[in-house]
Protein backbone atom coordinates (compact mmCIF):
# COMPACT_ATOMS: atom_id res chain seq x y z
CA UNK A 1 0.00 0.00 0.00
CA UNK A 2 1.42 3.33 -1.01
CA UNK A 3 0.91 6.24 1.35
CA UNK A 4 -1.15 9.32 0.48
CA UNK A 5 0.84 11.93 -1.41
CA UNK A 6 3.00 9.37 -3.21
CA UNK A 7 1.52 10.22 -6.58
CA UNK A 8 2.46 13.88 -6.06
CA UNK A 9 6.08 12.93 -5.76
CA UNK A 10 6.41 10.17 -8.33
CA UNK A 11 5.08 9.28 -11.75
CA UNK A 12 4.97 5.85 -13.35
CA UNK A 13 7.47 4.93 -15.99
CA UNK A 14 7.70 1.46 -17.50
CA UNK A 15 10.86 0.28 -19.16
CA UNK A 16 11.69 -2.97 -20.88
CA UNK A 17 14.10 -5.15 -19.01
CA UNK A 18 15.91 -8.28 -20.17
CA UNK A 19 13.83 -10.83 -22.08
CA UNK A 20 11.13 -8.20 -22.63
CA UNK A 21 10.11 -8.20 -18.97
CA UNK A 22 8.44 -4.92 -18.13
CA UNK A 23 9.77 -3.08 -15.09
CA UNK A 24 7.50 -0.52 -13.61
CA UNK A 25 9.51 2.25 -12.03
CA UNK A 26 8.72 5.49 -10.32
CA UNK A 27 10.23 8.76 -11.37
CA UNK A 28 10.21 11.90 -9.27
CA UNK A 29 7.61 14.30 -10.58
CA UNK A 30 8.60 17.88 -11.39
CA UNK A 31 8.96 20.44 -9.98
CA UNK A 32 11.59 18.53 -8.11
CA UNK A 33 12.06 18.35 -4.45
CA UNK A 34 15.23 16.81 -3.12
CA UNK A 35 15.02 13.09 -3.97
CA UNK A 36 13.27 11.19 -1.21
CA UNK A 37 13.65 7.49 -0.78
CA UNK A 38 10.36 5.77 -0.14
CA UNK A 39 10.18 2.73 2.08
CA UNK A 40 8.85 0.62 -0.76
CA UNK A 41 11.83 -1.23 -2.22
CA UNK A 42 11.24 -0.21 -5.83
CA UNK A 43 13.69 0.84 -8.46
CA UNK A 44 13.75 4.59 -9.05
CA UNK A 45 14.68 5.60 -12.57
CA UNK A 46 15.62 9.19 -13.10
CA UNK A 47 16.27 10.55 -16.57
CA UNK A 48 19.36 12.70 -16.33
CA UNK A 49 20.72 15.08 -18.93
CA UNK A 50 24.49 15.46 -18.93
CA UNK A 51 25.81 18.84 -19.98
CA UNK A 52 29.58 18.64 -20.33
CA UNK A 53 31.86 21.63 -20.36
CA UNK A 54 34.99 23.30 -19.13
CA UNK A 55 32.81 25.86 -17.35
CA UNK A 56 35.80 28.18 -17.26
CA UNK A 57 33.83 29.90 -15.77
CA UNK A 58 30.18 28.82 -15.79
CA UNK A 59 27.94 31.60 -17.15
CA UNK A 60 24.30 32.48 -17.71
CA UNK A 61 24.37 30.99 -21.23
CA UNK A 62 25.12 27.57 -19.74
CA UNK A 63 22.41 27.92 -17.10
CA UNK A 64 19.70 28.90 -19.57
CA UNK A 65 20.42 25.70 -21.51
CA UNK A 66 20.55 23.52 -18.40
CA UNK A 67 17.35 24.96 -16.97
CA UNK A 68 15.51 24.69 -20.30
CA UNK A 69 16.45 21.02 -20.61
CA UNK A 70 15.45 20.31 -17.01
CA UNK A 71 12.09 22.05 -17.29
CA UNK A 72 10.94 21.96 -20.92
CA UNK A 73 11.86 18.38 -21.86
CA UNK A 74 11.24 14.95 -20.36
CA UNK A 75 14.51 15.10 -18.41
CA UNK A 76 14.15 14.92 -14.65
CA UNK A 77 17.50 16.45 -13.79
CA UNK A 78 20.50 18.03 -15.50
CA UNK A 79 24.05 17.49 -14.29
CA UNK A 80 26.68 20.01 -15.32
CA UNK A 81 29.73 17.81 -15.71
CA UNK A 82 32.93 19.78 -15.19
CA UNK A 83 35.63 18.43 -17.48
CA UNK A 84 39.11 18.48 -16.00
CA UNK A 85 40.69 18.69 -19.40
CA UNK A 86 38.96 18.97 -22.75
CA UNK A 87 41.22 17.14 -25.21
CA UNK A 88 40.29 19.72 -27.87
CA UNK A 89 41.13 22.80 -25.77
CA UNK A 90 44.48 24.22 -24.57
CA UNK A 91 45.09 23.90 -20.84
CA UNK A 92 46.83 27.28 -20.47
CA UNK A 93 43.74 29.40 -19.74
CA UNK A 94 41.99 26.73 -17.68
CA UNK A 95 41.39 27.58 -14.01
CA UNK A 96 41.98 24.84 -11.46
CA UNK A 97 39.48 21.99 -11.57
CA UNK A 98 38.15 22.53 -8.07
CA UNK A 99 37.78 26.29 -8.57
CA UNK A 100 35.63 25.73 -11.68
CA UNK A 101 33.64 23.07 -9.86
CA UNK A 102 33.11 25.44 -6.94
CA UNK A 103 31.73 28.10 -9.30
CA UNK A 104 29.32 25.61 -10.87
CA UNK A 105 28.17 24.55 -7.40
CA UNK A 106 27.54 28.20 -6.52
CA UNK A 107 25.65 28.66 -9.79
CA UNK A 108 23.22 25.78 -9.24
CA UNK A 109 22.89 25.71 -5.47
CA UNK A 110 19.40 27.23 -5.50
CA UNK A 111 18.03 24.93 -8.21
CA UNK A 112 17.16 21.36 -7.16
CA UNK A 113 16.87 20.27 -10.80
CA UNK A 114 20.54 21.07 -11.50
CA UNK A 115 23.66 19.50 -10.07
CA UNK A 116 27.40 20.06 -10.45
CA UNK A 117 29.25 16.85 -11.19
CA UNK A 118 32.95 16.16 -10.68
CA UNK A 119 32.70 12.60 -11.98
CA UNK A 120 35.44 13.14 -14.55
CA UNK A 121 37.97 14.31 -11.97
CA UNK A 122 38.68 10.72 -10.93
CA UNK A 123 38.60 9.21 -14.43
CA UNK A 124 41.65 8.78 -16.67
CA UNK A 125 42.67 11.96 -18.49
CA UNK A 126 41.99 13.26 -21.03
CA UNK A 127 38.33 12.55 -20.41
CA UNK A 128 36.25 11.31 -23.32
CA UNK A 129 32.47 11.55 -23.15
CA UNK A 130 31.96 7.96 -24.25
CA UNK A 131 34.13 6.69 -21.38
CA UNK A 132 32.43 8.90 -18.81
CA UNK A 133 29.01 7.67 -19.97
CA UNK A 134 30.08 4.02 -19.68
CA UNK A 135 31.32 4.69 -16.16
CA UNK A 136 28.10 6.47 -15.15
CA UNK A 137 25.91 3.79 -16.69
CA UNK A 138 27.68 1.17 -14.63
CA UNK A 139 27.67 3.24 -11.45
CA UNK A 140 24.00 4.24 -11.73
CA UNK A 141 22.25 1.36 -13.55
CA UNK A 142 18.88 2.70 -12.42
CA UNK A 143 19.39 6.03 -14.22
CA UNK A 144 18.95 6.81 -17.88
CA UNK A 145 21.55 9.22 -19.19
CA UNK A 146 20.97 11.61 -22.08
CA UNK A 147 23.65 13.80 -23.63
CA UNK A 148 23.01 17.53 -24.03
CA UNK A 149 24.97 19.46 -26.62
CA UNK A 150 24.82 22.44 -28.96
CA UNK A 151 24.26 22.28 -32.70
CA UNK A 152 27.92 23.16 -33.14
CA UNK A 153 28.91 20.00 -31.28
CA UNK A 154 26.58 17.63 -33.11
CA UNK A 155 27.96 19.03 -36.37
CA UNK A 156 31.42 17.78 -35.42
CA UNK A 157 30.42 14.72 -33.42
CA UNK A 158 32.03 12.47 -36.02
CA UNK A 159 35.41 13.63 -34.65
CA UNK A 160 34.61 12.36 -31.16
CA UNK A 161 35.96 9.11 -29.81
CA UNK A 162 33.58 6.20 -30.59
CA UNK A 163 30.82 8.53 -31.74
CA UNK A 164 28.84 5.63 -33.23
CA UNK A 165 28.67 4.08 -29.78
CA UNK A 166 27.42 7.40 -28.37
CA UNK A 167 24.72 7.73 -31.00
CA UNK A 168 23.54 4.15 -30.79
CA UNK A 169 23.69 3.85 -27.01
CA UNK A 170 22.24 7.16 -25.88
CA UNK A 171 19.78 9.86 -26.78
CA UNK A 172 21.29 13.25 -27.57
CA UNK A 173 19.32 16.43 -26.95
CA UNK A 174 20.64 19.21 -29.14
CA UNK A 175 19.88 22.91 -28.83
CA UNK A 176 20.26 24.83 -32.07
CA UNK A 177 23.01 27.46 -32.19
CA UNK A 178 22.38 30.63 -34.23
CA UNK A 179 23.95 30.58 -37.69
CA UNK A 180 25.30 27.06 -37.19
CA UNK A 181 24.28 24.12 -39.34
CA UNK A 182 23.71 21.09 -37.15
CA UNK A 183 24.87 18.70 -39.87
CA UNK A 184 23.83 15.26 -41.06
CA UNK A 185 24.00 13.51 -37.68
CA UNK A 186 21.22 15.79 -36.39
CA UNK A 187 18.72 13.62 -38.26
CA UNK A 188 19.80 10.44 -36.44
CA UNK A 189 16.79 8.81 -34.70
CA UNK A 190 18.47 9.21 -31.30
CA UNK A 191 18.93 12.97 -31.75
CA UNK A 192 16.23 15.43 -30.65
CA UNK A 193 16.48 19.08 -31.58
CA UNK A 194 15.34 21.95 -29.35
CA UNK A 195 15.05 25.70 -29.80
CA UNK A 196 16.41 27.43 -26.74
CA UNK A 197 16.56 31.25 -26.68
CA UNK A 198 20.18 32.00 -27.63
CA UNK A 199 22.43 34.01 -25.34
CA UNK A 200 25.63 35.19 -26.95
CA UNK A 201 27.89 34.80 -23.92
CA UNK A 202 31.12 32.82 -23.81
CA UNK A 203 33.54 31.96 -21.05
CA UNK A 204 36.27 33.49 -23.20
CA UNK A 205 34.46 36.84 -23.13
CA UNK A 206 34.01 36.63 -19.38
CA UNK A 207 37.67 35.82 -18.81
CA UNK A 208 38.62 38.80 -21.00
CA UNK A 209 36.36 41.12 -18.99
CA UNK A 210 37.83 39.91 -15.70
CA UNK A 211 41.36 40.30 -16.96
CA UNK A 212 40.57 43.92 -17.92
CA UNK A 213 38.89 44.54 -14.58
CA UNK A 214 35.45 44.91 -16.18
CA UNK A 215 32.21 43.84 -14.51
CA UNK A 216 30.66 40.49 -15.40
CA UNK A 217 27.55 41.12 -13.34
CA UNK A 218 24.45 39.46 -14.90
CA UNK A 219 26.63 37.53 -17.34
CA UNK A 220 27.12 35.00 -14.56
CA UNK A 221 24.76 34.09 -11.68
CA UNK A 222 24.98 36.43 -8.71
CA UNK A 223 26.78 34.03 -6.33
CA UNK A 224 29.40 33.41 -9.05
CA UNK A 225 29.76 37.14 -9.67
CA UNK A 226 30.21 37.81 -5.94
CA UNK A 227 32.84 35.08 -5.69
CA UNK A 228 34.74 36.36 -8.74
CA UNK A 229 34.57 39.94 -7.42
CA UNK A 230 36.06 38.90 -4.10
CA UNK A 231 39.05 37.01 -5.48
CA UNK A 232 41.70 36.91 -8.16
CA UNK A 233 40.38 34.23 -10.48
CA UNK A 234 41.05 35.02 -14.15
CA UNK A 235 42.62 38.38 -13.29
CA UNK A 236 46.27 37.48 -13.79
CA UNK A 237 48.06 36.09 -16.85
When the beta carbons of 14 and 204 are compared against ligand ATP, the nearer one is: 204
| Residue 120 Cβ vs ligand ATP, minimum distance, rounded to whole Å | 13
Pairing of strands 171-175, 191-194: parallel
When the beta carbons of 95 and 136 are compared against ligand ATP, the nearer one is: 95
Contact partners, residue 204, CB within 8 Å, separation at least 6: none
When the beta carbons of 10 and 51 are compared against ligand ATP, the nearer one is: 51
Binding site residues, ligand ATP, CB under 6 A: 53-56, 61-62, 65, 149-150, 152-153, 199, 201-204
* Closest C-alpha among 204, 205, 172, 193 to residue 52: 172
Name the strand (E) or helix (H) holding 165.
Answer: helix 163-169
When the beta carbons of 28 and 53 are compared against ligand ATP, the nearer one is: 53
| Residue 195 Cβ vs ligand ATP, minimum distance, rounded to whole Å | 12
| Residue 171 Cβ vs ligand ATP, minimum distance, rounded to whole Å | 17
| Residue 110 Cβ vs ligand ATP, minimum distance, rounded to whole Å | 20
In degrees rounded to 5, what are phi and psi of residue 102? -60, -40
| Strand ranges of the sheet holding 47-53, from the earlier edge strand across to the other edge | 114-117, 77-82, 47-53, 144-150, 171-175, 191-194
Amino acid sequence: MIGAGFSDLFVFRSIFGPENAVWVTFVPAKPAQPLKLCNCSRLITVKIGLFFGSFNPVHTGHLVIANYMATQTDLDRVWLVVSPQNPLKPRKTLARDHDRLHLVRLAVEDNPLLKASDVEFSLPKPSYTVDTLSYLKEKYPEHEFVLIMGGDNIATLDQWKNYHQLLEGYYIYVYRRPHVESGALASHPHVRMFDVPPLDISATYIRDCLKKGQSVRYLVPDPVWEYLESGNMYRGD
